[in-house]
Structure 1
Amino acid sequence: MKTFKLNLDRLGITASTLCAIHCAAVPLLLTFLPLWGLGFLADERVEICMIVLSLCLGIWSMSSSYRKLHRKLIPSIVLIAGFFLIAAGHFLGLEQLEPILIPLGGFTIAAAHFINLRLVKTCPSAHKHN
């Protein structure tokens, strides 16, 4: 019987990529979403929930991998850069750059998880924790 193991980085990559796609696609599809019954996707609360989910997954994944395994800061630095891009897109009043900054931030967060996942896989002590 195979046991289920939650991989926070894979979940984080999925969540932040979906967030980036959502942020890039919603402005383009805004007029069609209600026709398809998907109007809720344009709600800012959905976007905030996706950001908070990505933030929680990122902090949890990066901190536990850093403490227990690889001791490298680069995934956390990339994660912070991703959230900085999202925050800049939301709060700096750069309306022309918002459709670029926010998805770029989501993909940057996915990259942080990918880097973290690679570091964990190459870490000799990772095999002790499996």
Structure 2
Amino acid sequence: MKNIQTTLDKAAVGVSFLCVAHCLLIPVVIVIIPTVVSAMLSDEVFHKVLILFVLPTSILALIMGWQKHKAWSVILLGAIGLLIITLAALYGHDIVGEAGEKWATIIGSIVIALSHYKNQKLCRNE
């Protein structure tokens, strides 16, 4: 059980940083290969698909960790991050524009990564 939770925490951190990399690298890629990017890496689609991986991975890892350490602060931090990236993916572009959506996604991803880091750290201490 411990190995699964640790693996999920690491996967969730990786996926969170994939969001950050996407937001920071896509503008560069758009300049370099505009036709490929516009056809295959639409921000709207990418963010919605990524949410399908981030949500279950993060929720499962955080719950498994909470069962060991009972630290609600980790769950709350993770929930805040997940809420931020979900709202950014679904409504960000319409509400805060493209730049606001990217910043919300970056901030939410960092918050999620921090929650998984804390989750992992507390689980190691148990």
Common topology (TM > 0.5)? yes
1:24/1:83 CA distance change after superposition, 3 Å: farther
Mean Cα displacement is larger for which, 21-30 or 100-109? 21-30
| Structure 1 residue matching 2:71: 3-state secondary structure | coil
Q: How does 1:59-74 map to 2 (within 5 A)?
A: 59-67=59-67, 69-74=68-73
1:28/1:81 CA distance change after superposition, 3 Å: farther
Q: How does 1:42-81 map to 2 (within 5 A)?
A: 42-67=42-67, 69-81=68-80
Letter in 2 for 1:94: V
Shift in Å, 1:88: 4.1
Shift in Å, 1:75: 1.6
In structure 1, distance between residues paired with 2:78 and 2:24: 19
Letter in 1 for 2:51: I
Deviations 1:67-110 (A, max 9, x none): 2x111112211111112322443415011422211111111111
Structure 2 counterpart of 1:127: none
In structure 2, distance between residues paired with 1:26 and 1:42: 10
Shift in Å, 1:21: 1.5
Deviating beyond 4 angstroms after TM superposition, the runs of 4 or more aligned structure 1 residues are none
Whether 1:118 aligns to 2:117 is no
In structure 2, distance between residues paired with 1:70 and 1:45: 36
Share of identical aligned residues, percent?
21
Shift in Å, 1:118: 0.5
Structure showing greater Rg: 1
Shift in Å, 1:51: 1.6
Q: Which runs of 5+ in 2 are unaligned?
A: none
In structure 2, distance between residues paired with 1:33 and 1:88: 29
Q: TM-score, normalised by structure 1?
A: 0.76
Letter in 1 for 2:42: A
Contact kept in structure 2, 1:26 and 1:42, CA below 8 Å: no
Mean Cα displacement is larger for which, 51-60 or 39-48? 39-48
Whether 1:103 aligns to 2:102 is no
Q: TM-score, normalised by structure 2?
A: 0.78
